[in-house]
């Protein structure tokens, strides 16, 4: 498809405008091209789906078990439980660790609502924390600040019991630091690895970085299925058993009894079979994401702040975040997004409406200024497309040229 590129009035014509005219980008490039991803191994998906269809076994069969074994093999986790989605994976994790109504759970405000919503859904109280300006994730300092703020406010008196460590955009938190502060305050760590499947921290994979880890297989995630899906990972056999019971109405097959009231949070056989196919292709896709991230990093780092990864870690690059520097960041960001739009490229803003100030959490009484770093980042961050099925390296080079 060829389109006419409208010259950008903000840029000198000899900058990248002329180049772009020669080989224009297609219009309305999808930000994440899930259909193209699946097209690459459509025959395998069809075969896997056909097998499930003809088996007549759609829930709690061998495919889910196989997927769980494969997930343990990939992540290095001792136990995996494949479940309905990433939100319930977090809820199961919280409940399996013994978090009960009224307990406090520290959550970064810079995240998708599910990280904090899961806390509310189990009756616990989110204690919102700021993030580190460079990693965009929790740090020991921001956790201590959140605990300090909670101590000062009569509305924030829930006893802190756990931390939800979100690896935002796929980049791991500095877990050594988090483990130290968790040890000091006797807090459990739940890794929210919804965006970080495949990431590593000091040789360990996402899925093994918390006391319990939750993952999402929502289609657009690094390992995406063809519907909702998720997993809980852990090393402790008792916790794993509790997760399994919770997710299947508290039913203990050995005792042939419902030992407590749980819920239904199971993954279906069809999704498990499709995810097994996706997992086989995951390493090659992750490499391509890494290559795109390297290009963005080297092309943009002089002009923007970019998300820092802790030493010895690798990101899953669920998204690539760009932080606008200097004054009038919102205006600059909009200009850059407009520039991309003229090339048929979408620049997105994720989580830029401060979560702690949204109506869903208004009863918690947070005020503007409580989490100053995240609130400032909300005015500066945007995301550029980094899905290898949506943008080629050549197109990434053009995006960089348009932004700098
Ligand atoms: C950080 C984070 N946590 C949790 C979730 C919830 O996952 P799901 O959509 O599978 O329920 C998401 C999904 O977008 C997420 O990005």
pLDDT at 15: 37
Q: Which of 3-17, 18-32, 224-238, 317-331 has the lowest mean pLDDT?
A: 3-17
Ligand 1 binding pocket mutation candidate from 34, 84, 90, 112 (most atoms within 8 A of CB): 112
pLDDT at 215: 98
Residue 290 CA to ligand 1 centre (angstroms): 22
Q: Which atom of ligand 1 approaches the CA of 195 most closely? A: 16
308-312: Cβ within 8 A, 24+ apart: 308/134, 308/135, 309/135, 309/171, 309/172, 310/135, 310/172, 310/173, 310/174, 310/175, 310/201, 312/201, 312/202, 312/203
Q: Please, which pLDDT band fits residue 1 given cuts at 50, 70 and 90?
A: very low
| pLDDT tens digits for range 357-401 | 999 999 999 999 999 999 999 999 999 999 999 999 999 999 999
Check whether 10 has a pLDDT greater than 60.
no
Residue 118 CA to ligand 1 centre (angstroms): 10
Q: Please, which pLDDT band fits residue 179 given cuts at 50, 70 and 90?
A: very high
Kindly report the CA angle at 95 between 89 and 96, in degrees rounded to 5? 85
Q: Which atom of ligand 1 approaches the CA of 111 most closely? A: 1
Check whether 13 has a pLDDT greater than 90.
no
Q: Which atom of ligand 1 approaches the CA of 216 most closely? A: 10
pLDDT at 384: 97
Check whether 253 has a pLDDT greater than 70.
yes
Instruction: Render the burial of 368-398: b for 16+ CB within 10 Å, e for the rest.
Output: eebbebbbebbebbbbbbbbbbbbeeebbbb
Q: Which residue from 242, 166, 170 is spatially nearest to 210, judged by alpha carbons?
A: 166
Mean pLDDT, rounded, of the chain: 93
pLDDT at 27: 55
What token pair was written down for 214?
């939750």
Q: Please, which pLDDT band fits residue 36 given cuts at 50, 70 and 90?
A: very high
């Amino acid at each position: 498809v060829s389109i006419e590129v409208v010259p950008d009035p903000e840029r000198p014509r000899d900058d990248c405008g002329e180049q772009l005219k020669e080989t224009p980008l297609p219009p309305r490039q999808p930000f994440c091209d899930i259909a193209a991803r699946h097209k690459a191994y459509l025959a395998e998906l069809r075969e896997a789906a056909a097998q499930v269809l003809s088996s007549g076994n759609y829930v709690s069969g061998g495919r889910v078990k196989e997927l769980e074994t494969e997930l343990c093999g990939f992540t290095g986790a001792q136990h995996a439980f494949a479940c309905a989605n990433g939100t319930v994976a977090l809820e199961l994790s919280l409940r399996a660790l013994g978090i009960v109504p009224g307990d406090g759970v520290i959550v970064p405000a810079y995240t998708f609502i599910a990280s904090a919503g899961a806390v509310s859904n189990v009756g616990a109280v989110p204690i919102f924390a700021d993030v580190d300006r460079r990693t965009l994730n929790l740090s020991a300092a921001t956790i201590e600040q959140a605990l300090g703020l909670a101590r000062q406010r009569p509305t924030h008196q829930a006893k802190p019991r756990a931390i939800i460590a979100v690896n935002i955009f796929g980049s791991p938190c500095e877990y050594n630091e988090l483990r130290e502060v968790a040890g000091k305050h006797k807090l459990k760590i739940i890794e929210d690895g919804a965006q970080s499947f495949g990431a590593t921290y000091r040789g360990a994979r996402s899925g093994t970085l918390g006391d319990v880890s939750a993952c999402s297989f929502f289609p657009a995630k690094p390992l995406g299925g063809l519907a909702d899906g998720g997993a809980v990972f852990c090393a402790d056999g008792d916790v794993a058993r509790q997760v399994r019971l919770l997710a299947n109405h508290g039913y203990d097959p050995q005792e042939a009894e419902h030992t407590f009231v749980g819920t239904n949070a199971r993954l279906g056989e069809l999704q498990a079979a499709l995810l097994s196919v996706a997992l086989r292709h995951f390493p090659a896709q992750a490499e391509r994401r890494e290559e795109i991230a390297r290009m963005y990093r080297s092309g943009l780092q002089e002009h923007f702040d970019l998300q820092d990864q802790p030493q010895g870690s690798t990101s899953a690059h669920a998204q690539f975040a760009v932080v606008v520097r200097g004054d009038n960041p919102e205006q600059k960001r909009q200009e850059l997004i407009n520039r991309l739009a003229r090339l048929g490229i979408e620049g997105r803003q994720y989580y830029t409406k401060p979560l702690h100030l949204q109506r869903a959490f208004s009863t918690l009484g947070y005020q503007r200024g409580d989490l100053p770093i995240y609130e400032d980042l909300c005015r500066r961050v945007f995301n550029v497309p980094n899905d290898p099925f949506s943008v080629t390296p050549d197109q990434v080079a053009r995006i960089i040229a348009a932004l700098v």
